[in-house]
Structure 1
């Protein structure tokens, strides 16, 4: 007897949240009552065929998604870049998409071994006890672990992080108040970037910031245990400090700083691939300029309208994740599994899956070959 596939109510909740819908909004779009949507998500009622097809069509998720069982990300903290500015709706969307990323990585790992995680020992201190010396030490250790000397700019940060076991992907969403999300899942760090069309330097700083969370804040069980003040003034600032020391080693940066004119900072931006504003702050934090000089430079930045967009932002190439695309292509090109079967096995919508993998995989999909029917000829 064929086994009947069971509807998983948690998957409906996940699909709805990842698309950014409230129950009320989904009810309005599907013409199904909000109470019925609630019953479906609580498991009180199983949707009949017509309503299930309606939900599938509206949410644009495959039917197999609603009968699958994806892991919940229970233990460990999830960190959101721009935590306080981002809405709860955006954070919830990112958390669901992070689950999808984990599912994709789990499936790909059945066929290909991902790079080993290569990070310094994680900091196991209360956030109030983490000193700047601790942060500097870990930034230096990470450079050493990753084979980067203490004086050179980091060329391609995302590629380097992927090579050392950090999984990075872009999320299928845009929100200019939420740049990234990161967390440990089991034994590997994951970073998911919001596709905000950000500049190369902003993306690099975002990734370095998330690496800071991953290394410095392993003792945090949940960000909800902390006040907004702690998040802004301690946790986020510590991650920013890590990013600054990691991308701009103090001694090397100081030696490269031959002038504090904006024109010279522009030249330094090409070299270090860090924003002018971040370098000005670094200069100030090193005591190389005083309050008045910093204020003067920041006023010039505002006058030039460089707050949101600096020179070279359209020139420097934005780094993009490539590891999962490479792994996927290895599997398909070596005929480890038929591409159609592999795509189907993820049980994810095309737009989510292609964004995570970073490739247009469905248009090049190899159809599943049907087996020939053989008959004995007497």
Structure 2
């Protein structure tokens, strides 16, 4: 158990065995022996390992072990294996803490996810995603309005959202998996809000269309269409832009982005998908975006990232209800007991911004 956890923590940190050994004053070969459970570190080395890897000592002896099932990475072909290992290790750590927390409750207050009952058994065309997304919105009573907090919505439906702060740049587009039958979606805390939201909606699409697609359909394209239509329904789009346009102002797209949380580029593509603009205008505006550098970074104020507060809220709720102790709460939040005391008493400004898990 210790060796596996040490290996995972080292992977999450991005350190080689040699680099970790150098930082903790032991040889690379000794780190290898630790990871293969052929030797155990002394208490002083254990402290240095914890400090270097930024984990609490309890992490190495945590009794709960989880397995990510049905893992689906949405990654670029150029994504280094080292990056994927770091993401996987971070997600496993957070998932284990979730499961630890859940096991402490007599009745954990997170519902099981159930897809909307009215969804069709089979999807025959990509255009079907317009009606499909409307059914989801209708059953979840969302109407046509913008969804202000997608993470909060997903968590209320029984989908866990894990936010990783691993430096992943543009080489990773999200991850979807299951933990004990509970769907999990992983996003980056470093992404802009519109990229997070599209990824969340796209991964929701994968969950909902599972085993429903006709064999000739490309699942990635289907889920892209679902994400756009779920975030910005056709009726709402037409209300804002009209049924037919022969030109568009960039600021129209900018305002729509900040109202519905969908990038300007995705709003432009949505206009083409719905036949509001011709393919020729789409190409013209896309070329203009590229020349201005807007395809890499869109203009104006960026959409702030969404955050998940559910884990921390449940830790404090469990503390208040006497389900867990202060030391256990600090361990679950992966902070020192002193830091936990400061956060609990709101003694510093930093404590007012919740950790994302």
Q: Fold conserved (TM > 0.5)? A: yes
Correspondence for 2:355: none
1:90 aligns with one of 83, 89, 102: 83
Alpha-carbon deviation of 1:325?
2.5
1:339 aligns with one of 326, 330, 339: 326
* Alignment root-mean-square deviation, CA: 3.3
| Structure 1 residues 6-59: Cα deviation after superposition (integer angstroms, max 9, x where no partner) | x62111111111112232332333343323222221223333444434323322
**Matched-pair contact (CA < 8 Å) for 2:177–2:183:** yes
**Matched-pair contact (CA < 8 Å) for 2:159–2:185:** yes
Structure 1 runs of 4+ off > 6 angstroms?
121-125
1:105 aligns with one of 98, 101, 105: 98
Q: Distance in 1 between matches of 2:70 and 2:310?
A: 24
Establish whether residue 207 from structure 1 lines up as the match of residue 200 from structure 2.
Answer: yes
Q: Distance in 1 between matches of 2:162 and 2:329?
A: 19
Q: Secondary structure at the match of 2:69?
A: coil
**Matched-pair contact (CA < 8 Å) for 1:173–1:194:** yes
Unaligned runs of 5+ in 2: 346-357
Distance 1:143 1:166, change over 3 A: same
Q: Distance in 2 between matches of 1:30 and 1:38?
A: 13
Q: Secondary structure at the match of 2:167?
A: coil
Distance 1:35 1:138, change over 3 A: farther
1:276 aligns with one of 258, 264, 274: 264
Q: Distance in 2 between matches of 1:89 and 1:123?
A: 40
Q: Secondary structure at the match of 1:364?
A: helix
Establish whether residue 287 from structure 1 lines up as the match of residue 275 from structure 2.
Answer: yes
Aligned residues: 333
Structure ranking higher on relative contact order (CA contacts 8 Å, 6+ apart): 1
Distance 1:83 1:130, change over 3 A: farther
Correspondence for 2:335: 350
Unaligned runs of 5+ in 1: 1-6, 220-232, 354-359, 367-378
**Matched-pair contact (CA < 8 Å) for 1:266–1:276:** yes
Alpha-carbon deviation of 1:341?
3.1
Correspondence for 2:168: 175
Establish whether residue 195 from structure 1 lines up as the match of residue 180 from structure 2.
Answer: no
Correspondence for 1:363: 342
Q: Distance in 1 between matches of 2:254 and 2:83?
A: 34
Correspondence for 1:237: 221
Q: Distance in 2 between matches of 1:12 and 1:52?
A: 10
Q: Distance in 2 between matches of 1:56 and 1:255?
A: 56
Q: Distance in 1 between matches of 2:234 and 2:285?
A: 20
Alignment of 1:222-261 (within 5 A): 234-258=218-242, 259=245, 260-261=248-249
Q: Secondary structure at the match of 2:71?
A: coil
